[in-house]
A and B are shown apart, each in its own frame.
Chain A
Amino acid sequence: MFDLTKNYFELFGLPVSCQVDLKALSGQYRVLQRAVHPDRFASDDERQQLLAVQYASHVNDAFHTLKQPLNRAIYLLKLAGRDVDMERNTVMDTAFLMEQMELRESVDEVRSDAHPEKALELLVARVDGDIDDYLLHFEQCWQSAGKEDLDQAEAVVKKMQFMVKLAAELEALESDLLD
């Protein structure tokens, strides 16, 4: 039965895991949307249509959560009973904070660089690499699944959050530079 409280992995018939078969995920996504999308119920009564909007929203949400590595990691922690409160994402080790400040400075300097595009490219590679490393680290912690490991997994996710934000800013900077 389709159950709105069922976890997203089960909904897509996938194993609960850090790694997701993206092809299988988007395949199942289309199958589910074909079954529940409001377009399928356009000539049904209002109640059925509202239900369809609800189900289709849920499927969209599940899909976007599982598709993105960071969202997926946050979701996995949630399944383990740990709500990562990103709003109160403040406690960080000093080394990480220093590194962040350094990175931010580099971002600010891109514009005044003699070869801004080259500088940007290097930064993007660095940030993307860090995100990959965090993902790997998260996966290791997740698989061991002891209490301390989960504490660590949570800390890694919080760091990853910073980096993903930075990556988005770099993207915006890139389209700015093109103008």
Chain B
Amino acid sequence: MALLQISEPGQAPEPHQQKRAVGIDLGTTNSLVATVRSGSAETLADIENRHLLPSVVRYAESAVQVGYDARAMASEDPENTIISVKRMMGRGLDDLDSLGSSYQFADNDNKGMPFIQTRRGDISPVEVSAEILRVLSSRAEETLGGSLDGAVITVPAYFDDAQRQATKDAAKIAGLNVYRLLNEPTAAAVAYGLDQGGEGVIAVYDLGGGTFDISILRLEKGVFEVMATGGDTALGGDDFDRAVARWILEQAGVDETSMTARQMRESIGEACRVKEALSGQSEVGVRFGDWAGALSRQQFDDLIAPLVEQTLRAFKRALRDAGLKAKDIEEVVMVGGSTRVPMVREKVEEYTGRPPLTSIDPDRVVAVGAALQANVLAGNKSADDMLLLDVIPLSLGLETMGGLMEKVIHRNTTIPVSRAQEFTTYKDGQTAMAVHVFQGERELSRDNRSLAQFELRGIPPMPAGGAKICVTFQVDADGLLNVSAEELSTGVQSSIQVKPSYGLSDGDISRMLKDSFEFAGDDRDARALREQQVEADRVIDALDVALAKDGKLLLSASEFEVLQADLVALREQREIGDAKSITREIERIGKSSEEFAARRMNEGIRKALSGQKLDDLEEF
């Protein structure tokens, strides 16, 4: 039983102001933005009523094009048109070679961080992604009538620290406040409301244009755990098109080896049309040049059967990794446009023994789930009924003697998490220690992904094994890592926000922020001022809400007045001050509200625990 809350006359909380919060699916082929309006989540369309935004960016002579316009130019201007940039996020030049990337990369001294050479200069994948995010963000701002308060951005469950950090950097450059990075399969499950009270194993089958991902999740008492992920980064709907195109060319008597690029494009285009039509009809007429014929559903199924079989094999492998059988699956969620193909649905149903969930548009389901979560995180909806606890997808550790990887945080540990491990020196008189952070499951560190490297210096000379170095790993709720090291006897410290080996430095990011369209030219002060004003607004907003909610309860009258006065001062600086004075005021209020912040946490826990006790009593 819930007690009704009655506020004192004249002290009713202000009418709830809805925050502008969005969910963004930043996809390999297409991207989407969604928001919750009047209680339901919907994706937002552009002026031409198109919801999908092709994840394609073209650096044209006069402007940067994003989406359909850019995609239309992809074959004409391939060097300056970046497709599938998601595959390059958080990756080094070596990785891109193995991806078979066809862009020209610039030589640079940035430790293998790839910059793509375009006619508008050398561009990093992070900046390309930022262009896509900017378009989605302004689409949302136009629809919602104002600047966005925050966004949830989805990432594949298997994304490592470097890839997540790159995604967050892209959002920063695009001027987005990121509430949370959310795993794509988790978002899809949330879209179907599977987080509400359900328990059990959920499979998310995601067949997009160019990639296939399978994720096995376990939902237990509000905790979403990614048990296994798998898939094929080079398998998708595009392969269906190619299979049909090959059939068309064969029927039309065109020799594949001697056809023109134009014929190839046309055959693929026709194949794609036929494929989509076959989802609703049992036979579709086909035309190519002078040739005309028809393709039946049965023939189409035969053409794509080997490809569908390939996805099922990956599905089985992922289940085995999770230590499960097909019959353990409670629900299957279908994601990605290619799951519209009837045969895909049939085969998945046949394998799992249950009809997959398809009622939400498979292109939009991830964005919809992200929007629902963004709505909760913005505080528009009570958080009591939803809590997603995520796990870290890959183990984090350090390189020790002999090139071995010593795991500090194991995969599938619930985040946020903080772990400390002690190490010692191996030579007499050793005064420095290299800390090399890796992510992955293999025994040898070189088989895992190198995340970052730093040195702890100033260790007092001691016999081997004498110094005690405590290395602390802190992973936040986005799965991002922070590492610090301390020599315990002297307190010598070193700490880094893990900037992935293939990531952007803070300098890169601020340069890119400066370069962004809004503050073109050298108006750096204006930019800094604007940034601090936005930050001040955020702080004022948050503290206002917190004071209205808990101020009277948790603060003495004098403490309350002090914070009120600090708020007035910050408001004043925000209007009349420069960037520096606003920053100072923000820092001051941060210090003076520290105790209040701690009390709020404690009060939340006290309330939660006493509420729990009451519930327990009611059971008797």
Contacts and interface: CB of A to CB of B under 8 A. Distances in A.
A26 interface: yes
B418 A39 contact: no
A27 B609 CA distance: 10
A42 B476 contact: no
Contacts of A52: 601
Interface in A9-36: 13, 26-28, 30-36
Interface stretch (A43-51, A115-123, A131-139): A43-51
Nearest to B222: A30
B412 to A, nearest CB: 11
B7 interface: no
Classify chain B: how many residues form its interface, as a range: 35 or more
A60 B179 contact: no
A63 to B, nearest CB: 8
A13 B441 CA distance: 36
A39 B538 contact: no
B150 interface: yes
A53 B609 contact: no
A61 interface: yes
A42 B377 contact: yes
Contact of A42 (B180, B419, B611): B180
Interface in B560-605: 590, 593-594, 597-598, 600-602, 604-605
A37 B418 contact: no
B417 A60 contact: yes
A34 B417 CA distance: 16
B600 A60 contact: no
Given A35-B605, A35-B607, A39-B180, A44 B546 contact: yes
Contacts of A100: none
Interface string B144-181: 00000110000000000000000000000000000110
Contacts of A33: 387, 389
A38 B378 CA distance: 12
A101 to B, nearest CB: 23
A31 B612 CA distance: 7
Contacts of A47: 590, 593-594, 597
A58 B593 CA distance: 22
B243 interface: no
B313 interface: no
A39 B377 contact: yes
A1 interface: yes
A61 B384 contact: no
Interface in B381-421: 383-384, 387-389, 413-419
B17 to A, nearest CB: 11
A34 B179 contact: no
A13 B416 contact: no
B542 interface: yes
A2 interface: yes
Given A30-B221, A42-B179, A53 B416 contact: yes
Interface residues of A, number: 39
A40 interface: yes
B379 interface: yes
B12 interface: no
Given A45-B542, A47-B594, A34 B384 contact: yes
A175 B605 contact: no
B474 interface: yes
A39 B416 contact: no
Contact of B383 (A2, A32, A40, A56): A40
A21 to B, nearest CB: 12
A40 B416 contact: no
A178 interface: yes
Contacts of A30: 221-223, 387
A36 B590 contact: no
A45 B416 CA distance: 18
A32 B222 CA distance: 13
Contacts of B422: 87
B539 interface: yes
B597 A48 contact: yes
Given A30-B222, A37-B389, A38-B476, A45 B538 contact: yes
B19 A1 contact: no
Interface string A68-94: 000000000000000000010000000
Given A43-B179, A57-B418, A51 B609 contact: no
B612 A27 contact: yes
Nearest to A87: B422
A54 interface: yes
A118 to B, nearest CB: 19
Which one of B180, B221, B542 has the highest number of Cβ atoms from chain A below 10 Å of its Cβ?
B542
B481 interface: no
A42 B607 CA distance: 20
Contacts of A53: 416, 474, 476-477
Given A42-B179, A43-B379, A57-B417, A28 B609 contact: yes
A43 B222 CA distance: 21
A8 interface: no
A38 B477 contact: yes
A1 B389 CA distance: 24
A55 interface: yes
Contacts of A56: 416, 477
Contacts of A34: 383-384, 387, 608
A48 B384 CA distance: 19
A44 B542 contact: yes
A99 to B, nearest CB: 27
Nearest to A42: B377
Contact of B604 (A36, A38, A87): A36
Contact of B539 (A31, A32, A45): A45
B180 A32 contact: no
Interface in B6-56: 19
A35 B604 contact: yes
17 contacts: A2-B606, A30-B222, A30-B387, A31-B609, A35-B604, A37-B477, A39-B377, A39-B388, A42-B378, A43-B379, A48-B597, A53-B477, A54-B418, A57-B417, A57-B474, A58-B418, A63-B414
Given A45-B538, A48-B600, A57-B474, 6 more contacts: A28-B609, A34-B384, A34-B608, A39-B376, A39-B477, A48-B546
**10 closest Cβ pairs, A-B complex:** A42-B377, A35-B608, A57-B418, A35-B604, A38-B477, A42-B179, A2-B602, A45-B542, A35-B605, A44-B542
